[in-house]
Chains A and B, each alone.
Chain A
């Protein structure tokens, strides 16, 4: 982190666009003269949420570069427009409008938090655009202009809760979640799933993103004595929870299971003692024992010029761009409405496995893995669940029957 040569400095200072297709690359591929297809990417390069975005920004750029080097899409080059939303939803709204109206992007790959997504979704509808959201979330958003290429509770939480409650005996659970729509709906999912598995939810608390004092809740946890702490804490301030819990309880900590610990690579900000043992459920990890994963990580490392851990949110940006590109190929043109018609059953054989868009919901079928953080602050694979369907969203959303639906459905307790 402290090593800062001149090249690195320039990269850091100028941001993602440094990575992206130079005119040299386009000439070499023979597509420099064609009219570009425009791709917008709105992510948080700065602010307390950028721990989720930084590798995704680079991975999106890498996918675009690769496609260009291989002759472009439909014979046309891709042009990337990157906007830094600075962990601020207002900028998500401003840049989404700018991308669609002024820069006229054919697709928007954007958003990390559910609040930023819900800010941008109506804007994309208003300007008849197409919106790829490459981030795990609480599920249920049903909208034909919106595609989620990452995990929803039916894929991510159902196997994890079942594993922890039934196999690890984590019956009594205490839920700690971030205080915005993601944390609230994920909290409800935890409650529903814990009860369905015969467990008990003895507490549910929400924390605004700037809270970094968890002493009171750690005391409450000690009086409540749960077997397991269910987590959906978000952002760099919340990482303090793991520090304070370890300082107070040491090795007597309950089981910890999180929906987003690995997405922000929280383990890297903690000591081995503090991070060890957290259970996650994810579509991808650097240490997934799979050739496609290893090859991709090597490629990514070469692209960015370092060997830092990459994580699942980096990979999501990459397979998100390819899923979209494959849908464009199927449609034969990049116009949003044509691509939307071609989305169903579009596939991409990616670093984490096979990804298939389910046209009924515009969500994505993929492999899911339960993993556990070890003392090297990497993840050990516990169990894999191949080709899981987004069943929670499929249960409520049918875009074939109701193409004009725009609701986000929430779980009922």
Chain B
């Protein structure tokens, strides 16, 4: 019985982590088709913003908001200064964002030093049978799900969401109908960045903040979004559930390393048989 609870917890937790690290990328790469190799560093920036806010005496929860807003703003800046000149030029975007990634790692190391920083988990733990679970782990899962739901609502039920979807599907048609696509691109990229920064902040009490931390996440994020396929939200959600289940079960029964290996094997096999991702065969949706 204990084992079943542990495995269920591990599955949900792994699912939450996959959602957190890939939701921002689902928008930036899944919807906008921008190969943002600096995605991991956006996570890292969010983490640092959160520790900064915490150091300034704010609570960690406020730190999350600060991180979301700050990294969102930074994303808009990056879009205006770099990305907007490179729409549709995948290789150039890739190089530019890779450069940006190296620059950010270097800059953060220079300013904050190479050691990792952290803001302690604001919550205690609770018992579940014989098992102690950090309350914060449960909060992380909850926050991840909330972020997906809010993003879905924004996309599906608001005017901004409608215009953004139109722009991503057919920019020239959207423009003809009076949508300022330029502005929509900028805001969408900003939104993706904000979600990424927020995720980085949420990860702080769990993984800390250090200059190279982005590297630990960026690969997983891309694999999740690509396996998800062309429907960025639904795809990311389903890929996260799949990978989360595999990672959670295998990591507990064997080891974390085996968990990651199994996720990669499943991703490769899946993309061999469903080259357009899990949602590749679906006609419409998000």
Q: CB within 8 Å of B: which residues of A?
A: 1-2, 4, 9, 12-13, 46-48, 50-51, 54, 179, 205-208, 210-217, 219-220, 222-223, 236-237, 239-240, 243-244, 246-250, 252, 265, 268-271, 273-274
Which of B14, B131, B206, B210 makes the CB contact (< 8 A) with A244?
B206
* Residues of A close to B256: CB separation below 8 A: 207, 211, 213-214, 216-217
* Residues of A close to B113: CB separation below 8 A: 1
Which of A216, A248, A270 makes the CB contact (< 8 A) with B10?
A216
Name B219's closest neighbour in chain A (CB-CB).
Answer: A210
Asked if A54 contacts B252 (CB within 8 A), the reply is no
Which of B14, B115, B210 makes the CB contact (< 8 A) with A268?
B115
Asked if B132 contacts A222 (CB within 8 A), the reply is yes
| Min CB–CB distance A130 → chain B (angstroms) | 29
Asked if A223 contacts B2 (CB within 8 A), the reply is yes
Name A244's closest neighbour in chain B (CB-CB).
Answer: B206
Asked if B257 contacts A207 (CB within 8 A), the reply is yes
* Residues of A close to B3: CB separation below 8 A: 223
Asked if B212 contacts A240 (CB within 8 A), the reply is no
* Residues of A close to B213: CB separation below 8 A: 212, 237
* Residues of B close to A4: CB separation below 8 A: 111
What are 11 A-to-B residue pairs whose CB atoms are below 8 Å? Answer: A51-B115, A210-B216, A211-B256, A223-B6, A243-B207, A247-B125, A247-B206, A248-B125, A249-B132, A269-B117, A270-B118
* Residues of A close to B207: CB separation below 8 A: 212-213, 237, 240, 243
Which of B114, B210, B257 makes the CB contact (< 8 A) with A206?
B257
Complex CA gap A12/B112 in Å reads: 11
Which of B133, B212, B255 makes the CB contact (< 8 A) with A48?
B212
Complex CA gap A223/B131 in Å reads: 8
Closest 10 pairs between A and B when the two form their complex, measured CB to CB = A247-B134, A216-B251, A271-B120, A248-B134, A247-B121, A219-B6, A212-B207, A269-B116, A236-B116, A216-B252
Name B17's closest neighbour in chain A (CB-CB).
Answer: A213
Complex CA gap A286/B145 in Å reads: 46
Complex CA gap A240/B212 in Å reads: 14
* Residues of B close to A223: CB separation below 8 A: 2-3, 6, 130-131
Mark interface residues in B60-77 (1 if CB within 8 Å of A CB, else 0). 000000000000000000
* Residues of B close to A206: CB separation below 8 A: 255, 257
Name B119's closest neighbour in chain A (CB-CB).
Answer: A271
| Min CB–CB distance B80 → chain A (angstroms) | 27
Which residues, 233 to 286 on B, are CB-close (under 8 Å) to A? 248, 251-252, 255-257, 259
How many chain-B residues does the 8 Å CB contact rule pick out?
A: 47
Interface of chain B, main secondary structure? helix
| Min CB–CB distance B101 → chain A (angstroms) | 15
Which residues, 36 to 85 on B, are CB-close (under 8 Å) to A? 55
Asked if A269 contacts B257 (CB within 8 A), the reply is no
Which of A2, A48, A239, A265 makes the CB contact (< 8 A) with B112?
A2
Asked if B114 contacts A51 (CB within 8 A), the reply is yes
Asked if A208 contacts B6 (CB within 8 A), the reply is no
Complex CA gap A24/B259 in Å reads: 58
Complex CA gap A46/B110 in Å reads: 10
Interface of chain A, main secondary structure? helix
B109 at the interface (CB under 8 A from A): yes
Asked if B208 contacts A269 (CB within 8 A), the reply is yes
| Given A236-B115, A237-B216, CB of A219 within 8 Å of CB of B131 | yes
| Given A1-B112, A48-B210, A216-B10, CB of A249 within 8 Å of CB of B257 | no
Complex CA gap A309/B118 in Å reads: 18
B215 at the interface (CB under 8 A from A): yes
Complex CA gap A246/B116 in Å reads: 17
B185 at the interface (CB under 8 A from A): no
B178 at the interface (CB under 8 A from A): no
| Min CB–CB distance A2 → chain B (angstroms) | 7
Name A54's closest neighbour in chain B (CB-CB).
Answer: B114
| Min CB–CB distance B7 → chain A (angstroms) | 9
* Residues of A close to B131: CB separation below 8 A: 219, 222-223
B9 at the interface (CB under 8 A from A): yes
* Residues of A close to B132: CB separation below 8 A: 222, 248-250, 252
Asked if B212 contacts A47 (CB within 8 A), the reply is yes
Which residues, 193 to 217 on B, are CB-close (under 8 Å) to A? 205-208, 210, 212-213, 215-216
* Residues of B close to A247: CB separation below 8 A: 121, 123, 125, 134, 136-137, 205-206
* Residues of B close to A274: CB separation below 8 A: 120
Asked if B115 contacts A240 (CB within 8 A), the reply is no
Name B109's closest neighbour in chain A (CB-CB).
Answer: A46
| Given A12-B110, A46-B109, A247-B205, CB of A236 within 8 Å of CB of B210 | yes
Which of B123, B124, B210, B255 makes the CB contact (< 8 A) with A205?
B255
* Residues of A close to B124: CB separation below 8 A: 250
Name B6's closest neighbour in chain A (CB-CB).
Answer: A219
Asked if A210 contacts B116 (CB within 8 A), the reply is no
* Residues of A close to B136: CB separation below 8 A: 247
* Residues of B close to A240: CB separation below 8 A: 206-208
Complex CA gap A139/B217 in Å reads: 34
| Min CB–CB distance A53 → chain B (angstroms) | 9
Which of B109, B121, B212, B257 makes the CB contact (< 8 A) with A243?
B121
| Min CB–CB distance A262 → chain B (angstroms) | 14
B222 at the interface (CB under 8 A from A): no
Name A215's closest neighbour in chain B (CB-CB).
Answer: B13
Most buried by A among B2, B13, B206: B206
Which residues, 126 to 147 on B, are CB-close (under 8 Å) to A? 130-134, 136-137
Apart from the given pairs A208-B257, A240-B208, 11 other A-B contacts in the complex at a CB distance below 8 Å: A1-B113, A1-B117, A46-B114, A48-B212, A212-B207, A236-B116, A237-B216, A240-B206, A244-B134, A247-B205, A269-B117
Complex CA gap A47/B259 in Å reads: 25
